[in-house]
Structure 1
Amino acid sequence: MIKSIKENEGIHVTGLADILGVTKGAVSQIIGKLERKGMIVKDTDPRNLSRLSLRLTPKGETAYQYHEELHQELDGLFKAALEDATEGNKAFLKDFLNSLDGKLDVYEKEVRPDRWQK
């Protein structure tokens, strides 16, 4: 959520829920936690005074930077691990991950739709 706020500064709860594909209630709960931790602030949207816009605090910016650096490190680890893999192993991994992704989609839509629907 911090990344989405960083990349869409001034976004409001509904817009964030749309981007993340979750309910406004779920976003509001997490926003409350992030606000209590000093990661974000809510400002009145000057274009719509009944709407709150979200932005990161300096602490939130630091968390965002740390998260991005962590992703870069992990990407490097994955790339290094795959350099030694055979083409057959890479093909297996690709097929496995595609299959898992499909099964997760089915789970999300059919097995537990109550958790994901807006």
Structure 2
Amino acid sequence: MNKEEQVLMGFRDLFNKLVWLNKGKMENSLKGYKPSEVHCIEYIEKNVDSNVTKLAESFYMTRGAISKITKQLLKKGLIESYRKPDNKKEIYFRLTEKGKVIYNIHEDLHKEFQERDKAVFEQITEEQFDSMLSFVETYSRHLDAEIKKRGISIEPE
């Protein structure tokens, strides 16, 4: 296996371990909520004027799939929709108090996991962080260009 394959396998392996390690605690603390719902709640809280299009682009999902998720969130009373006075057409979302409770539980879990893994990150030098971040940014730009080149859209044509 060459270094490129080792890096990609390493990323996959790390991601899978994180998911496996965090899954039980996440599921117990956020019972009754799907990961996609929780991630939409997180996005809506962190991004002003969130709408179906922005959510779809962020999660690489179709607008139809996001519409389904946001309808569930509305039904569960976790988000509310609103329109701006100058744009009656576009529908935006914000969290309700109930939605903020779920957001805070999720954030607290992330902080707990971050604390658990702190020992590893404390050993990383600034140069190593910069190198890793540079690689991630470069690879991400490459994948964005590939997506654009192929004309791949999040919406079926």
Normalised by the length of structure 1, the TM-score is: 0.65
Question: What's the secondary structure of 2:99's corresponding residue?
Answer: helix
List alignment gaps of at least 5 residues for structure 1.
Answer: 84-104, 110-115
Q: Partners of 1:68 and 1:30 in 2: how far apart?
A: 20
Post-superposition CA distance 1:41-63 (Å, at most 9, x none): 01123231111110000011111
Task: Please tell me the root mean square deviation across aligned C-alpha atoms, in Å.
Answer: 2.8
Post-superposition CA distance 1:54-79 (Å, at most 9, x none): 00000111111110000010122233
Normalised by the length of structure 2, the TM-score is: 0.50
Question: What's the secondary structure of 1:53's corresponding residue?
Answer: strand
Instruction: Give the % identical residues.
Output: 36
Asked if residue 66 in structure 1 is aligned to residue 105 in structure 2, the reply is yes
Post-superposition CA distance 1:86-106 (Å, at most 9, x none): xxxxxxxxxxxxxxxxxxx9x
Q: Partners of 1:57 and 1:2 in 2: how far apart?
A: 10
1:70-109 to 2 correspondences below 5 Å:
70-80=109-119, 82=120
Asked if residue 51 in structure 1 is aligned to residue 90 in structure 2, the reply is yes
Shift of 1:21: 1.8
The alignment of Structure 1 onto Structure 2 pairs a total of residues equal to 93
Amino acid at match of 1:49: K
Structure 1 segments (4+ residues) deviating >3 Å: none
2:51 is aligned to: 12
